[in-house]
Structure 1
Amino acid sequence: MMKLTPLFRAVEKVPKIGRFFAGVRKLREANQICSHFSTYLGPMIAVTQEQKEQVFRIRHNVYCEELSFEDIRENGMETDEFDEFSQYCLIHHSASDRFAGTVRLVTPTNEGELLPIEKYCLDSITNQELNPSNFDRNEVCEISRLAVPHEFRRRQMDQFAGAATGAINTKTYSENELRCFPFIAVGLYFSAAALAMQQGIKHAYVMMEPRLARSMRFIGIKFEQIGPVVDYHGRRAPYYINQKLLLKNLTPGFAIMLKHIQKSIDEMDIHADNDENTYGREAN
């Protein structure tokens, strides 16, 4: 076999060097995504009564006052029957000390406690293998009521039916923050996912607009559509996801961001407030 001269050996290594630097660049970009998020934003779980009221006020602002999906409430807090067995995630904006968004994780534990998708959109689920009724109550959850306050969004059109995408008002916040704020909705979904995984919940459902599901695919979050688009607070379809589907295609940067959010939530005491939540009954 012919021996390679030093020159040929050097040329032979060039592709490896190129791949190495490409890998370094991807890793740097991946770390930047998490860095941009953690610099300006942080996940929180609403455990105190005051924090839960903040959640309900944000929801009222978005769902009742802005989008008119629900009736105006005299107390300025949007709640329903599912809040009796739900948990709440918030994204905190450090510079303003305000909440940039919230999402609810409906977590039934007893027979008879239905997910919203089961009560209002069960007929839209055509993939019967993934029907939530196939699984134990403590193995299923639904991600719902994602809401981002108006001041953290760019335009009225930057919304999906029932909530908001997370784009921000460019006149209100700094240019550096613009690279982070489009991730608000992603951060909320990751917070809900981290909370579900922490509690061993295996199957998650969400009713969402198909264009939001498509946008999530760009970063590797591939929800599985389990039924056709229906008219439910706009054009929405039922989607399913589990831990394997979430982690399978996640891009490196957002995988790091998810790990950061998981670590933050794992360090929280989510049982800090044991007061009974009465808001669900109040709304009925």
Structure 2
Amino acid sequence: MPIAIQDNPVIITISAEERARGVASQATILKAIVAIAEDGLVVLDNAIDLSHIDALNRRMVKEAEDLINRPTTHFNSPGNLSQVPPICADLMFEDVFANPFAAAIIEGMLGPHPEVRYLHGNTAMRGEERQDVHADLAWRHWHWPFGLVVNIMLIEADKTNGSTEVWLGTHRDTTLADHIAPDAGVIKPELLAKRRSVRPPIQPRIPKGGMIIRDLRLWHAGMPNGTDIPRCMMAMVHTPAWLGNKLLLTLPESVQPIIESWKGPVRYCAEYIDDKNFDHLALEFKYDMRGGLPKNERDKWEAKWIGEWGHKF
């Protein structure tokens, strides 16, 4: 009979010396990569200037009130809305959008020049409903890292205000067969019961400004916020350059020189438009890490996958 394990994610505190140099130590990179490989996620603390976090949180909380009343807003579950963070010159902080410590870890796992092709977030308002346990993908996928999401908590999060439920280690052997349907991310209930007996889910406490680097394959679920304080979280999905993803961000021209001035390995793959035509709150919810393929090309992808790799995965 398997013995149930109750544990917490690995939290790495970036040292004062690392902060001063702006460079992650070899020990930090190694510890983080091992944690992601084994658990499916790692948390970085003390990696971001908290004044930057506070500035972003103030704006996102204010804008959430606007989003709630827009008919185009995408809700992940009742009370949990998708929310693009503010994309403007005065809030494009390099230690948030291209954090050097997270970038070094991501490059170590995905290879040179990892690409950001999804920039979003979510805000949990007061509510009682949770998400189904799911993985952030609904297509045939490889059994090695091909996508890492960086979530940034803009306030401290725990069970009371909607810290994400995570099922550590589930990324290691999951496949599309674990989902309730080929086009759904939700995991089969019987597999959840089996997994719970071995390694039950947890809702970890994440400090304000904490950076969660998570493998896209990891099972997880958004949880309700039982407080009156909105819980805002940013999300940036990184994919390897070798994947050939076609998905593009839409960003205002005013931030292009800022992004292009960043010296780290992470690249933002975007089309830049005139600022007067840009409203980050009106951006369409787009998420397709298999390659950003339009719907009429997805059958071709499926056929190619089965032909080339179907016998292995």
Q: Same fold by TM-score, threshold 0.5 exceeded?
A: no
- Tell me: higher relative CO, structure 1 or 2? Use CA pairs within 8 A at least 6 residues apart: 2
Q: TM-score, normalised by structure 2?
A: 0.25
Larger-Rg structure: 1
Q: Which has the higher helix share?
A: 1
Q: TM-score, normalised by structure 1?
A: 0.27
